[in-house]
Structure 1
């Protein structure tokens, strides 16, 4: 059985859902050493994380303009249990942008709650369009629903976009005007491809007393296999009550950060030079590969917003729909199978991210372009011209060939003008 599921398994939406884009790089030795040194700890982290981890999280947010007290922080083994606990603590139905990370909606459904997908604005993904949000809230309430929570992302998986501050502000004001609580997933905020040219603003900067921030440390601080996430609650009485209810849920789930991982997370959140240097180098590498992939996609006649953050792109192959249909590909599920097989790398379809099944969209991650093992990936990280490495060139060429064949078929099928 393949990692991504198959027809026999019905393309399971949870068990076979795509993981978040990973760096594809070996663990930083300094972080591995911290984890190894803490491996002999006999104590356990308390619910919400111990004081060193929470203090490190406070310092992390303070350096980003969000002063935070340790009593307003909670840690868990990843962003997933944090969102699950928050949704359980807040109650009611949840509004999500469409598309959104593959793991958001399952967390909501697991609680027996209804996730409502709201289209994103033309400028970006990651946030619901404010007018569509208001209309959805009113429709859900008229049908007897109880919307209470909006989840959004300011550095988005899957679209790799960052919402302009004015667009984000309109969405935040629309949500709060309807009495909804906001959760901002900022897992990818430290992976901006062009930090000098891209303005990233957290909703907590705009309305600190009404926004909870969650961050999965797999976005840049820790390997994905060392699950850790942190949440920042509003420094208000309501925020304290929400944190307490969230800790109750985490405790009931046994969702505690393992002590060695907590030590590594606290060290990484302190942002020592080695961690910053590795993250900076990795972001730069993924940005260069993303730009190259974006160029190949556009040259083939497909569509994609320019990637601004993260380790992936979101690609719309709708313009190549006729050529794909000739190959038996008519929806995102079939497109996922078609590209995954031909590219030799995961190409999860847009249906995984809450997009319409009939839309021919996929998320392409940059990690697989770096090589098949740690040696090749480290070579790419240290190369002055990583795109010229033979294995990177081959991966990009394969993508160009697969998409180029579709473009050629489309061109041959057009009537002369």
Structure 2
């Protein structure tokens, strides 16, 4: 496999996409999209009335009553976040690490970004004390922090922030006059929803939180770009939405009509959509747990995955050996893991993490099978881990990690 182009190491030049589900498209969704393509309705910036009504119902079922005129849609989460950021003046605070597209969206509209450390137990939500210290430092340096981005179910770390940590961070942010944007793309992909408590910041502070959700998280294929936002039901929220719509109009960021129809159908959550999502989440949870065990067996650190379809690994325990093999930072680790695994393994630097840290995000999709037929079999099998192609993929995954660990030259013991 060709080595990563050295010029492609920058977070903007190569921003890794969100982890794909690795599963065939739900047939009913394909039918809805095809039917809408034949009709060809004209869509407007901000989304059709049907799409916005469906988004309102989606959030209402999650304890966030929403009027359609407080929602907006865009062709993907990146242009939607860019529009919201453009509508808010001031610097942007991000958890470290964070989704690869957050910082570029802020920089494109001239906003300075500042990373804030996350607690040891989870990613996605800044540590409240680190947040306060960062706000103080930025202001002392003449900056104007205005916006905090966070995600309670996180990419890249695959963790869910505990409610008590989230509450303290939200309180700290509001005390400093920050507006919060909560990326809830992965909220419907909890591996153990009975034991994992997920609370939206919008439930805690509805007047100060805008919610953004990329439908590729749990409802649509990743190459059908659609995302929705929920704005506060206040005068300030209405003004923020209006300015964001201005930005979307200027960008020409309109959800394609066929995708809009499919998105509205999926957001209504008919039984076939929820059943497919539940089956996909259960499959990813089983495979994630198996991959996590292999990661730990290889002597690699990782937080137990709680959501999504990926792992975030830390090879710090192997640093000495990796250094002798020429791997000393996340860029070099990305090259080594990509070569060993045969698929992209973006380093932590892509997500705003410390370049010197030996961290990377690993996707689960390659472990589900090589062909659509194998992946569909994985989805429908009562015991997917017993399927030969899943066992073979997991075995190759474990062997690749072992090879990375063992490839470093060993020092001879002293005589």
Aligned to 2:5: 6
**Aligned counterpart in structure 1 of residue 354 of structure 2, from 337, 347, 356:** 356
Rounded to whole Å, the distance in 1 between the matches of 2:201 and 2:296 is: 32
Query: Is 1:233 matched up with 2:207?
Result: no
Aligned to 1:333: 331
Rounded to whole Å, the distance in 1 between the matches of 2:168 and 2:277 is: 32
Rounded to whole Å, the distance in 2 between the matches of 1:188 and 1:244 is: 26
Aligned to 1:304: 302
Aligned to 2:115: 117
SS in 1 for 2:331: helix
CA shift in 2, pair 1:205/1:335, >3 Å: same
**Aligned counterpart in structure 2 of residue 221 of structure 1, from 211, 219, 222:** 219
Larger mean CA deviation between 148-157 and 371-380 belongs to 371-380
1:245-304: CA deviation from partner (whole Å, max 9, x where unpaired): 000000000001111111100000010111011100000000111001100111111110
1:401, distance to aligned residue in structure 2 (A)? 1.7
Q: Is the 8 A contact 1:213 1:231 kept in 2?
A: yes
**Match runs of 1:11-160 below 5 Å:** 11-160=9-158
Any stretches of 5+ residues in structure 2 without a counterpart? none
Aligned to 2:382: 384
Q: CA RMSD in A?
A: 1.7
1:5, distance to aligned residue in structure 2 (A)? 4.5
Rounded to whole Å, the distance in 1 between the matches of 2:340 and 2:348 is: 18
**Aligned counterpart in structure 2 of residue 282 of structure 1, from 265, 280, 283:** 280
CA shift in 2, pair 1:152/1:256, >3 Å: same
TM superposition score normalised by structure 2: 0.97
Rounded to whole Å, the distance in 2 between the matches of 1:329 and 1:149 is: 36
**Stretches of 4+ aligned residues off by more than 3 angstroms:** 405-416
TM superposition score normalised by structure 1: 0.96
Rounded to whole Å, the distance in 1 between the matches of 2:59 and 2:203 is: 11
How many pairs align?
414
Larger mean CA deviation between 177-186 and 324-333 belongs to 324-333
Q: Is the 8 A contact 2:322 2:405 kept in 1?
A: no
Rounded to whole Å, the distance in 2 between the matches of 1:36 and 1:5 is: 37
1:14, distance to aligned residue in structure 2 (A)? 2.2
Q: Is the 8 A contact 2:131 2:172 kept in 1?
A: yes
